[in-house]
Chain A
């Protein structure tokens, strides 16, 4: 018996060393941690249980039968994050550069199947060189198997991808189909084809960082939802994120005990809206003062900053926040902002996370760049997402709610459950100046007359009461009591039952 136990320990020790000490040192030198170190940071201490530690590839081409490592370049298993079950796979760059073989893919799909069947989130940590060329089509098949499972699990369990090194070629499509992608600054990059191929095909000279670094993907392409400074910071933030996310689409949101009282009054919100309607203010101040403990996990903080999205809690329960940001482009809706918010709203709806929307929107962004770029369909995505969402939806209009953008931002007409307005709200087709200039075009030559018309329009429509008279606003509330109102509304909606007509799936304007 003793020999058997020793043999187990021996094989474990070999497996845990991955590609060996030299490669581990090289990994560290690049500022990166090993797959097992990363999992150790991600999971509760001692909770990770590794599966398939002894799996090896079965390739015999190109002399591969002579180089085998137990685990075959990916560490898989399960554990807990603050006591909640999470499945994980982490590419091991020290073994074949983390490249994907048939056996490697099987390890991942096994975990994916378990996560889906057992309805718990799955997190993938990427740091790999793509398909294992020596395996050829078997590797491609492996990718396909992984992709399929990503799609089947989508909307059932949260799927998170963390890019912590290279992620190229076939490797990029699995993260692309998960719910969120996070990256590590300076050490990670993602692209379909690398700089060498780019040079050959298009004659562009770019570095890996310029082509697919964290900065590019968080600010330009919006592929990544956030980036962090290093491995440790990233993984600790993933622990924080998981505390916000439901385990699956039926579990409901987790409850984190808090002593932050629901009737907390924030007097300073009464002066948040500047006297000058063209002066911006920071909508994040409102978010931070309304949510529990000022704790807000922002998603896509560097992209389309004219809209803010992220997770927070009210009375300990997760909510999704969507808010126009007057500080950036006056909070206008453009293609990027619409796409960003639409995807976030749909995530919340998938996982029964109530949505709180703070509205201060002057409309859609005009211009050829936007129209040629498909603003109509991108804008429609957000309208579609809000309309189809059946989770509790609470809307607070703080200032402008103009034109079609008013309808889009979780209005009463698209099943907003509780729609509040601050006294400073202006729900109108457009701003007073624009409206008066259209309505009284004949008087445009007379500045005094037109000014009187603007003032007239301003007095009639630049308030929340025209909308409230029609029931489009349920109540006009004092800014300082916003938290209390939202908490009450959420509790009132706790047992909300709403269903869309049966369909195979909808046809959102992609």
Chain B
């Protein structure tokens, strides 16, 4: 076994590999760019080597630098993680020249399967059914359109070297095909350093199901069941689960055996993933093979109990697979949410900055399930514009699918992040979504269920009751302790009214709040006729300043996130969030007399939706534009975002130019 390995990656996956290596008694070497000097993977590793400036193309993507780092530290093997160099054929070749072992498949397998065009040819040769498409390289937009029209719209334009939705575009028309081709190419170039793209038929209403395979250098290959990753947003996976609610035992076996056959045909000798598109009728087509550890591998680990990184290291060291196919048993259900630094309320645009607060839920066994959080950041860490916006992968495992989903919802409630915008509100809301809970999925799920983007669900019914009870108990706690402030006048201590009006948005909940001090706080609903309902107990050890209120409301365990606002609290629970103020009845009456204030009108402005770099301004002052016209391109997090006119109008003034670095809400241009 290796004594020391280097991890040619960053973020959560570097940390995750280090954890397993450490458990196996293997020393670890991290590499880092300037932007990651204080990153968690650098802290965790036994040694760390600086490899260049923040841009991945000048650091994490430089094979020479990694090889140099190996030689300098005496690392015998390299784990590439995912992304970056993980599927570059040249990387294991370069390592092999220096006698360094690549913890991944052999270069021939990468060549055969890593490239999406080559892999389709290989799959076709192995008689695996594939989706109709054009496997050759495409040189120009005109050629792209020609091919697209042969296949028939809609088509998907994808980076040959890509993955994870980067450099991928779907086109429903000639115009979109031309635009998508250019964008896919330029994104492919900036993300992967390889601008080749290909086109294939886009299958509607598909489900994304993939098979985890594991091979060794002795010709053994097994499959570790499937993962379903149908919950995607613009082809970027958001939620993954294992097993898939679609598959039956028969289909699982069929897919698994096909995946194994394919892997064997190319001499695959590591962990890999064979991706399929599945129809609702359980038909499936080979999509591509990822010759690396997948982001979503933890769900497989949770249901199989197998540490995939450990297996990768062992087979790379030449060990035979200790597992036979019959040893692989799927137990329970696992759900993974990807926590991204992106703003769900602004069309999921990337958000960067310092994590001023980062409090993940406690890991381990809870309520008969397990919570696991794979992360590469800690409070005080920085989400930079240079890398993938994923902050963490929150995984829950329980005996049943609903159990895993409910535990996921609970864990998300307690996941507290400040300093950047993130998609937890969206994920939490998803966990409540009936269609998701019933497992009626397709890759179009998010687009279909949230056609106008995501708006936070209004608290109602049960959720409203929880928010009101917690807000009232926080208010009660504050009132009670203020009775103990010093310098009070002698005589009778002051008192405060029991009747409270909890104002959540435009809704009022009338409550009577009693108890507290050493005993539980009791909250009772006051009905319209003044009758008081049965009080419920609200119990918590929460104290002001703590980010998450954890306790019981009427015996139910809940976690509610608390952020102070002027004269109140901002609470969030199960995706619903609101500024809440608790008034006395007298105060509430007076509040009603206060005028509504109108927010400033920004409809005449094009605001920069995220911090980023202006790549192009497509219009000039005085120009008339139609709704949908491209106005400007802003690049952030390696993604080029085209900003389009929301309505017809005339451009009055342009305030930014290509090359400008803009802050969020900076005015790019003004309309007349």
B140 on the A face (CB < 8 A): no
Looking at B67-75, B254-262, B478-486, the stretch in contact with chain A turns out to be B478-486
Asked if residues A243 and B485 are in contact (CB atoms below 8 Å), the reply is yes
Bitwise, A82-117 to B at CB < 8 A (1) or not (0) is: 111100000000000000000000000000000000
Interface-forming stretch among B20-28, B111-119, B587-595?
Answer: B587-595
Q: Let me know if A65 is at the binding interface, CB within 8 A.
A: no
Complex Cα–Cα for A269 and B37 (A): 16
Contacting residues, chain B, for A267 (C-beta < 8 A): 378-380
Contact of B597 with A by CB under 8 A:
yes
Complex contact A232–B587 (CB within 8 A): yes
Report chain B residues within 8 Å CB of A240: 567
Q: In the complex the two chains form, is A294's CB within 8 Å of B380's CB?
A: no
Q: Could you tell me which residues of chain A, from 272 to 298, have a CB within 8 Å of some CB in chain B?
A: 272, 275, 281-282, 285, 292-295
Bound state CA distance, A205 and B488, in angstroms? Answer: 50
When A and B form their complex, what is the total count of cross-chain residue pairs whose Cβ atoms lie within 8 Å?
Answer: 119
User: In the complex, A240 Cα to B481 Cα: how many Å?
Assistant: 13
Least distance between B68 CB and chain A CB atoms (Å):
23
The answer to the question of A475 belonging to the interface, with a C-beta cut-off of 8 Å to chain B, is no
A293 touches B543 (CB 8 A): yes
Residues in A neighbouring B380, C-beta threshold 8 A: 267-272
Interface-forming stretch among A36-44, A387-395, A464-472?
A: A36-44
Across the interface, do B493 and A281 meet the contact criterion of CB distance under 8 Å?
A: no
- Contacting B at CB under 8 A, from A41-84, are 41, 44-45, 47, 80, 82-84
CB distance from A277 to the nearest CB of B (A): 14
Shortest beta-carbon distance from A302 to chain B in Å: 14
Q: Are A243 and B487 closer than 8 Å at their CB atoms?
A: no
Question: Inside 8 A of B356's CB, which chain A residues have their CB?
Answer: 268, 282, 285
**A232-B591 CB under 8 A given contacts A257-B484, A275-B38, A285-B356:** yes
B381 within 8 A of partner (CB): yes
Q: Find the A residue at minimum CB distance from B353.
A: A282
**B566 pairs with A233, CB closer than 8 A:** yes
| Complex Cα gap A28–B594 (Å) | 8
Central interface residue in B37, B482, B591, by most chain A CB within 10 Å: B482
- Of B184-192, B387-395, B494-502, B649-657, the one with at least 4 CB within 8 A of chain A: B494-502
Which A residues, 222 to 280, have Cβ-Cβ distances below 8 Å to chain B? 228-233, 236-237, 240, 243, 246-247, 251, 254-260, 267-272, 275
Please indicate the chain A residues that have their CB under 8 angstroms from the CB of B378 in the complex.
267-268
Q: Which residues in A have their C-beta under 8 angstroms from that of B38?
A: 271, 275
CA distance A488 to B180 in the complex (A): 62
If A37-B590, A256-B481 touch, whether A229 touches B597 (CB-CB below 8 Å) is yes
> In whole angstroms, how far apart are the Cα atoms of A192 and B354 in the complex?
45
Question: Which listed residue, A41, A246, A260, touches B587 by the CB 8 Å rule?
Answer: A41
Whole-angstrom distance between the Cβ of B661 and the nearest chain A Cβ: 13
Check A45–B566 contact: CB distance below 8 A: no
Known contacts A44-B496, A232-B590, A237-B567; decide if A82 and B544 are in contact (CB<8 Å).
Answer: no
Contact B545 A247 (CB under 8 A): no
B545-A294 in contact (CB<8A): yes
User: Which single member of B358, B381, B544, B567 contacts A236 (CB below 8 Å)?
Assistant: B567
Contact of B564 among A40, A268, A281, A294 (CB under 8 A): A294
Q: Report if A295-B37 is in contact (Cβ < 8 Å); known contacts: A257-B481, A271-B381, A272-B380.
A: no
A18 to chain B, nearest CB (A): 16
Q: Which of B586, B587, B591, B593 has the most CB of A within 10 A?
A: B593
> B545 touching A40 by the CB < 8 A rule?
no
Is A31 a contact partner of B567 (Cβ separation < 8 A)?
A: no
CA A237 to CA B354, docked complex, whole Å: 30
B540: Cβ under 8 A from any A Cβ: no
CB-based contact A233/B485 at 8 Å: no
Residues of A near B482 (CB, < 8 A) are: 82, 243, 256
- Is A33's beta carbon under 8 Å from chain B? yes
Does A209 sit within 8 A of B, measured CB to CB?
Answer: no
Name the distance in Å between B595's Cβ and chain A's nearest Cβ. 4
Interface size class of A (residues with CB under 8 A): 35 or more
A83-B358 Cα distance, complex, nearest whole Å: 38
Query: B485 to A260, Cβ gap below 8 A?
Result: no
User: Given contacts A230-B595, A236-B567, A268-B379, is CB(A80)–CB(B543) below 8 Å?
Assistant: no
B484 → chain A, closest Cβ, in Å? 5
Q: How large is the interface on B (under 10, 10 to 19, 20 to 34, 35 or more residues)?
A: 35 or more
The reply on B641 being an interface residue by CB < 8 A is: no
Which residues of chain B come closer than 8 Å to A84, judged between CB atoms? Answer: 485, 487-489
| Mask: chain B, 624-649; 1 = CB below 8 Å from A; 0 = not | 00000000000000000000000000
Q: Answer whether residue B205 sits at the interface, using C-beta atoms and an 8 A cutoff.
A: no
* Chain A 373-386: CB-based contact to B (< 8 A → 1; otherwise 0): 00000000000000
A40 and B586 in contact (CB under 8 A), knowing A82-B494, A243-B482?
A: yes
Q: Digit string of B343-371 for contact with A (CB within 8 Å is 1, else 0)?
A: 00000000000111110000000000000
CA A80 – CA B490 in complex, angstroms?
11
What is the CA–CA distance of A84 and B355 in the complex, to the nearest angstrom? 40
Given A85-B489, A255-B485, A271-B380, A295 and B567 contact (CB-CB distance below 8 Å): no
Interface residues of B in 411-427 (CB under 8 A from A): none
Interface pair B594/A45, CB less than 8 Å apart: no
Residues on A with C-beta less than 8 A from B595 are: 31, 186, 230
B594 close to A31 (CB less than 8 A): yes
Q: Which residues of A contact B486 (CB under 8 A)?
A: 254-256
What is the bound-complex CA distance between A254 and B494, given in angstroms? 16
Output the least CB separation between A402 and chain B (Å): 24
Q: Does B550 contact A (CB under 8 A)?
A: no
Is B584 in the interface zone, CB < 8 Å from A?
Answer: yes
Residues of A within 8 A of B37 (CB): 275
Which of chain B's residues have a CB closer than 8 A to the CB of A282?
Answer: 356
Least CB distance from B526 to A in Å reads 17
- Please state if A251 and B545 are interface contacts (CB–CB under 8 Å): no
Q: Closest B residue to A33 by CB, please name it.
A: B590
Contact yes or no, B496 A80, CB < 8 A: no
Residues A251 and B487 in contact, CB atoms below 8 Å apart:
yes
Q: How far is the CA of A360 from the CA of B34 in the complex (A)?
A: 24
The residues in B between 69 and 120 inclusive whose CB is less than 8 angstroms from any CB of A are none
Measured in the bound complex, the distance between the Cα atoms of B379 and A281 in whole Å is 15
Inter-subunit contact B544/A293 (CB<8 Å): yes
* Cβ A247 vs Cβ B594 within 8 A: no
Interface code A397-437, partner B: CB below 8 Å = 1, 0 otherwise?
Answer: 00000000000000000000000000000000000000000
- Are B481 and A233 in contact, with the CB atoms below 8 A? no
In the bound assembly, the distance between CA atoms of A183 and B329 in angstroms comes to 68
Render B455-486 as a binary contact track against A, CB cut-off 8 A, 1 for contact: 00000000000000000000000000111111
Q: Which of A45, A84, A268, A295 has the most CB of B within 10 A?
A: A268
List residues of chain A with CB within 8 A of the CB of B34.
275
The minimal Cβ–Cβ distance linking B312 to chain A, given in whole angstroms, is 32
Q: Does A247 lie within 8 Å of B597, measured CB to CB?
A: no
Write out the residue numbers on chain A whose beta carbons fall within 8 Å of the beta carbon of B497: 45
Known contacts A83-B483, A254-B485, A294-B564: does B594 contact A230 (CB below 8 Å)? yes
A41 to B590, CA, bound (A): 9
Bound-state Cα–Cα, A139 to B297, Å? 81
**Cα(A199)–Cα(B565), bound, Å:** 41
- Closest B residue to A78 by beta carbon equals B489
Could you tell me which A residues sit within 8 Å of B by CB distance? 28, 31, 33, 37, 40-41, 44-45, 47, 80, 82-85, 186, 228-233, 236-237, 240, 243, 246-247, 251, 254-260, 267-272, 275, 281-282, 285, 292-295
26 A-B pairs with CB atoms under 8 Å apart are A45-B496, A80-B488, A80-B489, A80-B494, A82-B483, A82-B485, A82-B488, A83-B483, A83-B493, A84-B488, A230-B594, A232-B587, A232-B590, A233-B566, A233-B594, A243-B485, A246-B487, A256-B481, A260-B543, A268-B356, A268-B358, A269-B380, A271-B381, A271-B382, A281-B354, A292-B545
Query: Nearest 8 A-B pairs (CB), nearest first?
Result: A268-B380, A293-B545, A83-B488, A31-B595, A271-B380, A268-B379, A230-B594, A293-B544
Given contacts A232-B587, A255-B486, A260-B543, 13 further A-B contacts (CB under 8 A): A40-B586, A41-B590, A82-B488, A83-B483, A246-B487, A247-B487, A251-B487, A256-B481, A257-B481, A260-B544, A267-B379, A269-B380, A271-B380
